[in-house]
Structure 1
Amino acid sequence: MYVIPAEGLKVPDPVLRDHLPAEGREVPRDAYWMRRLADGDVIETLPPAAPVAEGSDR
């Protein structure tokens, strides 16, 4: 799941041993992150769209 920290909070990531960046990151849907979500420490959201490379035929 993709999460961002709630406004004004620094949320530790126990796997990477840093804080969740303001732009968020993909994290496992495990007990730790579900607890953070239930407590309102993080917000589940969609990941940012990947930029399309210039010169692409799409």
Structure 2
Amino acid sequence: MFIVPVGKKQIPDPIRGGFLPPEGGRVDEHDIYWQRRIADGDVEVVKEPKK
């Protein structure tokens, strides 16, 4: 799934290290870490932008 941070939050990315980019990124939809970030309102699922 493709997610983006809500607002100007910096969301740590434990898999890649660093932070989720402001433009968002693709993550494993079954990863409990990302499911929790969605539930907490830190990130939102969006349609992946076309390249």
**TM-score, normalization: structure 1?**
0.82
Q: What residue number does 1:56 align with?
A: none
Equivalenced residue count is 50
User: Which residue type is aligned with residue 3 of structure 1?
Assistant: I
Q: Which has the larger radius of gyration?
A: 1
Segments of 4+ moved more than 4 angstroms: none
Any unmatched runs of 5+ in structure 1? 51-58
**TM-score, normalization: structure 2?**
0.92
Any unmatched runs of 5+ in structure 2? none
The CA RMSD measured in Å over matched residues stands at: 0.6
Q: What residue number does 2:10 align with?
A: 10
Task: Measure the CA separation in 1 of the matches of 2:7 and 2:15.
Answer: 22
User: Which residue type is aligned with residue 9 of structure 2?
Assistant: L
